[in-house]
Amino acid sequence: MRQLRPYPQVVVTAKAARSLKGGHPWVFEGEVLRVEPAPSDGRAPANGDVVDVVEENGTYQGTGLLSQQSKIRVRVVSRNANDRFDASFWRRKIEWAWEHRKVAMGSLALPGCEPDTNCCRVIFSEADGFPGLIVDRYEDILVSQVGTVGMQLLRPTIYPLLLQVLQADGVAIRGIYERNDSPARAKEGLPLHKGFYDFAAPGAVAEGLDVPALPVPDSARVLARENGILFDLDIENSQKTGFFLDQKYNRRAVRNIAAGRRVLDCFCHVGPFGLNAAAGGAQFVRCVDVSQTAIDLARLNARANNLELAPDGSERMAFTCANVLDYLPHLRQDRQALRQEGGPFDLIVLDPPAFTKSRSTVRNAAHGYREINYEAMRLLPRGGYLATCSCSHFMTRDLLAKAIAEAAHQANVQLKQVEERQQAPDHPILWGVPQTHYLDFFIFQIV
């Protein structure tokens, strides 16, 4: 006699079953035919519960976490009917995730610099089997974002296990800062908040788990190194979790071609591309961002790394607060302004924010990418270099390439590809889940 399963069941359509068989972990609201109580004891599911996903004929398709208020109704975390969803299950997943980072990044550190795992993404949501959870490491601080009710309920289990797994590998963490302030949490019925997780609070640690006595850190500022460059990060107020770790090796690629060049770093944020270019021997770097706060931090980071001035005392890095969408056409049309900003430039970096966060706005986004690339190409001389990217999975690699090609045609230039890159491997791409592939990055020579 087949053993009765202890989890409520979500019965799904044939379409959902095909998607799950193809490797995608989501069941959408419209794909749910009905929800049935647990066969073993008749228990009805609560929001965030573990549930089995089955076809109408009873065929098991996986087990996941239920989100009753989300259009993504179930997020599958296992396709093994023998799994038990206890602390050991989640520990294994954390160990696999951390091992992936060590294998993918452990041998890539620059000579004389910190290990590349000192600052990296430790958990990348669905790609690591933790749907809706992101955890970034900045030296001895972890920063988390929780976007699903299932992960919200599992924090007392997952957070202590994270500390245990890292500690067993010699990594001491002194706190976990939660950046749970994304409006997307409202889709799950979750409140917004940010602050350090208090492991001493009642219910903060699941029964049977232990963590070191961690006092709550008194500051949300972190000094972190990436590619040998020191960054003063404000993990409370900066974008995302405080830094864009996914561009680590793309910044290094720009660094490799920057020597002797005059560089324009657009959408610079706190300056990582520009700082890498300066560290790579750039003659001059102009960093531009619409946020004065970001510009101020970029300038501080330049000073902290002794990169603001060249060895002869001349200015090597300068900073402008401006909207890049207006700034680039202005430089193209006003040669005097171009010279005042440090041009002509022979290397331009375009690292814009996502121009689209939905499929419905892709056409407008393509226009935006085409325009900024056109303006950059018009500013560059023949033989100059353009580093350009998109960080939206809706703007696929092929759509981005099409927009760049159209910009080149409009600018009457030809592109010679130097490199094509993606997000860093601590943001793994899970085949069958296109949402995990979101960053595409190109370097071209203008010919």
Active site residues: 391
Q: SS3 of 53, please?
A: strand
At 20, list the tokens. Answer: 């799950």
Which residues neighbour 204 within 8 Å (Cβ) at sequence distance 6 or greater? 156, 159, 197, 198
**Cα separation, 288 vs 270, whole angstroms:** 10
Q: Phi and psi for 426 in degrees, rounded to 5?
A: -80, 0
Which residues neighbour 412 within 8 Å (Cβ) at sequence distance 6 or greater? none
Helix residue ranges per DSSP H, 106-246 = 149-168
| DSSP letter, residue 5 | P
- Alpha-carbon separation of residue 228 from 243, 282, 284, 317 (angstroms): 15, 16, 20, 18
If residue 276 lies in a helix (H) or strand (E), which one and from where to where? helix 272-279
Sign (positive or negative) of CA dihedral 386, 389, 395, 396: positive
Cα end-to-end span (Å), the chain? 72
